[in-house]
Amino acid sequence: MKEQPKCTVDQFGTKRWRLHGKYHREDGPAVEQPAGVKYWYLNGKEAHPETLVDLHLSRGTFCYYDEQTDTLHFAENE
């Protein structure tokens, strides 16, 4: 089974997902601040959410990015 990023939450409520010490998350933003600000990363490099859509599509999983809600939606969750 593929290793998954671990989430930590700081005293201000900011959530951060890291894998091998680098920001990384394939199913959502790697950093989420309580005010709603989100940052998307893959392997420690900032990425546009559409990059994650392309990654999932290349693996045969349908998903799309909703700009209004700043979230990824997966076919199995619909």
Task: Count up the domains in the chain and report the number.
Answer: 1
Q: Are 63 and 72 in contact (CB under 8 A)?
A: yes
Residue-level pLDDT at 1: 77
Residue 55 scores a pLDDT above 70: yes
**pLDDT exceeds cutoff 60 at 25:** yes
Inside any domain, residue 1: no
What residues form DSSP beta bridges with 32?
A: 15, 38
What's residue 78's pLDDT? 47
Task: Determine what percent of the chain is predicted with pLDDT higher than 90.
Answer: 92
Residue 66 lies in a domain: yes
pLDDT score, position 5? 96
Give me the domain span that covers residue 72. 6-77
Residue among 3, 8, 45 nearest 24 (CA)? 45
Whole-number pLDDT of residue 65: 94
pLDDT digits (tens, 9 = 90+) for 1-20: 789 999 999 999 999 999 99
Dihedral-angle region of residue 13 (phi above 0 means left; psi in -120 to 50 means alpha; beta otherwise): left
β-partners of residue 41 are 46
